[in-house]
């Protein structure tokens, strides 16, 4: 199974639209993103702006299948954490310092 992982809003919106979905989230939750393909009984609809705002604020990307198969669209995607990008959020502590501090407070 070949997949693609992206944070590009146009690519994500195209995939969702082409598979008959709409942006949504779990009711009474801020960041439980879903895509409603018409099968969700309880889903809170979102605008595209709201959807991408949550995706960005939660540091998420979308991973989806590229190959066509008989699986329903709701089984062909997931939201995953974006990897840390070196150089964007440098701190004064390196990984060893973080690990040492974590062990001291445990």
pLDDT in tens, 51-82: 999 999 999 999 999 887 888 888 999 999 99
User: What pLDDT sits at residue 91?
Assistant: 40
pLDDT > 60? residue 93: no
Any idea which of 10-24, 38-52, 55-69, 85-99 has the lowest mean pLDDT? 85-99
Q: Which of 10-14, 37-41, 63-67 has the highest mean pLDDT?
A: 10-14
pTM of the model: 0.72
CB 35 within 8 A of CB 23: yes
Q: Tell me the pLDDT tens digit for each residue of 14-37.
A: 999 999 999 999 888 877 899 999
**Separation between Cα atoms, residue 50 and residue 37, nearest integer Å:** 18
Phi, psi at 20, each rounded to 5°? 75, 25
Name residues whose C-beta falls within 8 Å of residue 48's C-beta, 6 or more positions apart in sequence: 9, 13, 23
Torsion angle of C-alpha atoms 9, 59, 33, 31, degrees rounded to 10: -130
């Amino acid at each position: 199974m070949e997949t693609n992982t992206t944070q590009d809003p146009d690519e994500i919106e195209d995939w969702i639209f082409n598979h008959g979905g709409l942006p949504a989230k779990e009711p009474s939750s801020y960041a439980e993103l879903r895509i409603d393909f018409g099968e969700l009984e309880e889903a809170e609809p979102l605008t595209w702006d709201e959807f991408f705002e949550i995706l960005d604020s939660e540091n998420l990307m979308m991973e989806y299948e590229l190959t066509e198969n008989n699986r329903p669209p709701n089984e062909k995607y997931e939201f995953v954490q974006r990897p840390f990008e070196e150089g964007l959020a440098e701190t004064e502590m390196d990984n060893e310092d973080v690990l040492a501090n974590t062990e001291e407070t445990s």
